[in-house]
Structure 1
């Protein structure tokens, strides 16, 4: 049975469809907000502040949202967040319809979106293991990743065309997708287990970070992925590479931007049909090493086709790492802690993306674009070598479910 048969499960299909619609809505929305903010202000800094406005709530609310996801009905949390997203985007649509759009309104809506995503992400990640068997979690993660990357490619492109009809039409379309997403999830069958409310202490709130630090497999996989993205963030420099090195136009930049996502889609489809069964630790380390090598090749390339191929391989390698990390984190974490651990994991990954862009820009300013990219790729390879020695339990990890199996065997003795 192929693992895409997960979609034949009505419950998982509802969840899957809801996530596709939500991701598609957000990707369309990002095009509209970015374009309109720049149209209103003509300031690149304003664009950066929009991203910061969405990221800061996630950073500031990390401890709170993890606690909420562990103590309350995760599906209810997600539905409430989808409702807030729909209302926020509807506000943008009405603002455009009545010609009341201002940068301050966009910033306010960006903050509201950041708050809703802060609460939604830990609940979403913690909910997935409650919907599929543990031995099919890796396939579910790959399938979800495949859909997400496909929407990353399709969403901005379709959103750009819809924007030609007017920003109010784009925001209305995004609102509709968020509403439909909520309706799919509303029909989801999820049995929430009522837990005894834990006292809200600092120790409890920090439980996710503490658990990650004490679990070498979780800590190793999260930190390896984080440093790979932090050091190998070559995509932040794509506009410079396209214009100054490859001497291509906007169309070439578009191809370069889509290449990693296309590679990720291809690999995620493959992993959904043929999930990894053995040597997952070594495969993850090798995938990150390939990510580093692909980054170096991209940095040294002066040919558009070679650059696209390097980015395609980079996306494929990154997807392997993402699927293994996501699956290991969920399987290694007890259900009562998944919200807090997922919240902490989101900060690790979100921070690496933001800091990775800053690191690439700062290094490029100091040493030049090509040296910056190559240094990042070499740094990624160095991290792989170091992590192999300081996290031997990750390097030696055989199957995704090893920890659970061992616990089960121990409990029967």
Structure 2
């Protein structure tokens, strides 16, 4: 297959630019928030609460969002999502104004941040399904796997640069102007999105009752073993491998590397994932996908344990880099499974279930890491998470031989044969 097939479509290139700016802003914002909140509280549990404030609305509205996305035009819906994100970014910018902070209690600022993160969680519930559905309307079916890889790669590139710049910008220009930069990128994403034309609604069941629609989506996900297995495995791994949520503690109190070192630590896993994803555009991962996914998540767990025990900065960076590379394999395989196995009219609902399983597990993982760090100490919490990841992979491999043998070669060939 042509490794640049999806890039030959103008609107897809615009879409990648929009996704980069959006993810860059979102990932940078999350890092700045983590830094500011821990600086205010010095409490690891407060880092977990950030994740909890985002995951509660994201999970509670996810299924409704999936139904809504399948019923609506995707480009305009994504425009509304970006407007919502820009409003959240503007609010965080206002909360970080030095004169406002000077005359406002720390608790008021903290609760204001939590509230805006909660609002961002509502936006995110609609954002993921809309993006997933829009990709399928921009490129032909035969290049879905290639488009999914480039989309995931762009996501990772933004996830590399966003956290890295966040760490450095906190040291160079402070939290306030870092928030201003985030808002600027959200506006850039919105302007770029307006260059993409509106898309047709492919759902043959427009106006279908919501309860019936949601039941159909859930039945499809739970009844499709490849999708359900991939989502479950990734959810547990991310839930218990959420060491990145504790990076402010490692940077400030364990490794003593400051804001710049924090940026390097936060970017390391994303750099590893990016390099792996770029490699996957030339060396596809669909052959023996189940076995590769299991091995990747098992290796991810080992890397998390090494990071948790390390007191040497560059060993910590290396462990995070490798964890990102292995997570990149997992992400590409999961996205390929979703794109190949999901009918067009169900993409919103399937993507919503995906966000409940995997996307929300990032925030739940952050809460789990913060809570266990509070109870048993930071290092013990990270090592515990890595061990739970290894246990999960081992159990999955043992109880699901069909998933171990999953191969996507036939599905890829069928899509490539579509004219």
Which bin holds the TM-score, normalised by the shorter protein?
0.7 to 0.9
Distance 2:262 2:31 in 1: 16
Aligned-pair Cα RMSD in Å: 3.4
The answer to whether the 8 A contact 2:299-2:323 is kept is: yes
Q: Deviations over 1:288-319 (max 9, x none)?
A: 12222333443454544433322222111111
Distance 1:366 1:36 in 2: 22
Q: 1:403 to 1:173 in 2, by over 3 A?
A: closer
Q: 1:228 to 1:100 in 2, by over 3 A?
A: same
Q: Deviations over 1:293-351 (max 9, x none)?
A: 33344345454443332222211111101110122022211111111111111011134
The answer to whether the 8 A contact 1:86-1:175 is kept is: yes
Q: What is aligned with 1:145?
A: 152
Deviation at 1:68, TM superposition (A): 0.6
The one of 73, 87, 112 aligned to 2:119: 112
Distance 1:310 1:293 in 2: 9
Q: What is aligned with 1:187?
A: 195
| Number of positions where the alignment pairs a residue of Structure 1 with one of Structure 2 | 407
Deviation at 1:239, TM superposition (A): 5.3
Q: What is aligned with 1:69?
A: 69
The answer to whether the 8 A contact 1:3-1:274 is kept is: no
Superposed counterparts of 1:60-139, under 5 Å: 60-93=60-93, 103=109, 105-139=112-146
Structure 2: segments with no counterpart, 5+ residues:
102-107
Q: 1:299 to 1:272 in 2, by over 3 A?
A: same
Distance 1:289 1:41 in 2: 34
Distance 2:340 2:313 in 1: 41
**TM-score, normalised with respect to structure 2:** 0.83
Distance 1:373 1:161 in 2: 25
The answer to whether the 8 A contact 1:63-1:206 is kept is: no
Distance 2:40 2:382 in 1: 33
Q: 1:302 to 1:2 in 2, by over 3 A?
A: farther
Q: What is aligned with 1:21?
A: 21
Question: Which has the bigger relative contact order, CA under 8 A and spacing at least 6?
Answer: 2
The answer to whether the 8 A contact 1:84-1:116 is kept is: yes
Q: What is aligned with 2:294?
A: 285
- Aligned with 1:275: secondary structure? coil
**TM-score, normalised with respect to structure 1:** 0.84
Q: Establish whether residue 207 from structure 1 lines up as the match of residue 216 from structure 2.
A: yes
The answer to whether the 8 A contact 2:289-2:407 is kept is: yes
Deviation at 1:75, TM superposition (A): 1.4
Q: What is aligned with 1:318?
A: 327
Structure 1: segments with no counterpart, 5+ residues:
none
Q: Deviations over 1:27-78 (max 9, x none)?
A: 3333554555567777766665444333322122112101111111111110
